[in-house]
Amino acid sequence: MLLLDLAPEIFELIVRTFVEQATLPDIFHARGVCRTFARYIDHELLEELPIAQFVEKSNSGQEEWGWAPFNFFRERIHIFLAKRVRYPGVDGNTPNLVGFLIKIVETLLLEAPSSSCIDDLREQYVHDIVRAVVAMRGNTVHRLLIPHIPSDYESRTLEKYITQQDPDVADMIAAAAAVGNINAVEKRIRFCSKTLSNKLLFVHPIGAALVTGQLKVFKFLSEKIRKDGVGVTTSPWIVVTSCEAS
């Protein structure tokens, strides 16, 4: 009998045991057998493997097998991050970035319409916020989640920020923009000055709205910036930051 002939739940258990115990080269070799193997292995690596083992395999992969495993994790880091934000602490370890994003999600959920299904809304918020952060911060997200990857100034600055304080109001504006909560955007933007910065997690609210396709919020922010004369950075992104209160 072939492995693929087994019942799905038995096959999944075998793959889980294999991923937990095998070396990264063996795991990647098995991924190449067929699409079914790859799909089940990816699920275990990115969504079920405890963070400590994920870190160990990611680090050892870069040391022993070049950049292929590193790129695999980097390109799929949104899957890993979203699962940990949805189900924090399932393996007893919550990275600072995960805890920071959970604060943002839960704060925005408190402002959700009373008629909303909170579980469905939480799923959407996690998806959109993770998508925006990964799109804007790229490799920095990978460095914040997996220790021992060489850090740079940007990742060190962000690590200090997310460790030592609650989300800045500007980050809350960007997060609200990412999930399409225009009421939360309007509520907070009244307290913002017209200064520019890229030192926060989301970088800018317009970028967050664009990444997740929130056109209503994008139009509102564009008009707000046009009317109020908020400046433009040297990059093509327009930002509203340096806020005083929520």
**177-197 pLDDT, tens digit each:** 999 999 888 888 776 654 434
Is the same domain home to 88 and 99?
A: no
Instruction: Please say which residue of 54, 77, 92 terminates a domain.
Output: 92
pLDDT of amino acid 94: 72
For tokens 């950049």, the residue is: 67
Neighbouring C-beta atoms of residue 200, cutoff 10 Å:
23
Distance CA 178, CA 196 (A): 19
Q: Write the pLDDT tens digit of every residue in 133-179.
A: 998 887 788 777 766 665 677 788 888 888 877 888 888 888 999 99
H helical segments located in the chain: 8-21, 24-31, 35-43, 51-65, 68-75, 77-86, 96-109, 118-137, 139-145, 153-164, 169-179, 182-189, 205-211, 215-228
Q: Sorting pLDDT into bands at 50, 70 and 90, what band is 87?
A: confident
Q: DSSP 3-state assignment of 193?
A: strand
pLDDT of amino acid 238: 40
Is the same domain home to 216 and 111?
A: yes
Q: Write the pLDDT tens digit of every residue in 98-146.
A: 889 999 999 999 988 777 788 899 999 999 999 999 988 877 887 777 6
Distance CA 198, CA 111 (A): 26
Is the same domain home to 117 and 16?
A: no
Distance CA 205, CA 218 (A): 8
The H-or-E segment that residue 72 falls in is helix 68-75
Domain of 206 in residue numbering reads as 95-246
For all residues of the chain together, what is the average pLDDT? 77
Is the same domain home to 62 and 101?
A: no
pLDDT of amino acid 111: 85
Q: Sorting pLDDT into bands at 50, 70 and 90, what band is 68?
A: low
Does 5 have pLDDT greater than 60? yes
Distance CA 77, CA 141 (A): 8
Does 243 have pLDDT greater than 60? no
Is the same domain home to 154 and 168?
A: yes
Please indicate whether residue 227 or residue 160 has the higher confidence score (pLDDT): 160
Is the same domain home to 46 and 138?
A: no
What is the number of domains present in the chain?
A: 2
Distance CA 158, CA 200 (A): 7
Instruction: Please say which residue of 47, 74, 92 terminates a domain.
Output: 92
Is the same domain home to 37 and 113?
A: no
pLDDT of amino acid 69: 66
Q: How far is CA 124 from the centre of its chain?
A: 13
Is the same domain home to 118 and 73?
A: no
Is the same domain home to 225 and 129?
A: yes
Burial of 115 (0-12, 13-18, 19+ CB in 10 A): exposed
Is the same domain home to 53 and 125?
A: no
Distance CA 31, CA 178 (A): 34
Is the same domain home to 124 and 176?
A: yes
pLDDT of amino acid 195: 45
For 38-59, give one letter per residue: b (16+ CB within 10 A) or e: eebbebbbbebbebeebbebbb
Q: How far is CA 194 from the centre of its chain?
A: 27
pLDDT of amino acid 102: 92
What separation in angstroms does the CA of 36 have from each of 90, 170, 224?
26, 43, 49
Please indicate whether residue 104 or residue 46 has the higher confidence score (pLDDT): 104
Q: Write the pLDDT tens digit of every residue in 17-31.
A: 988 888 777 888 888
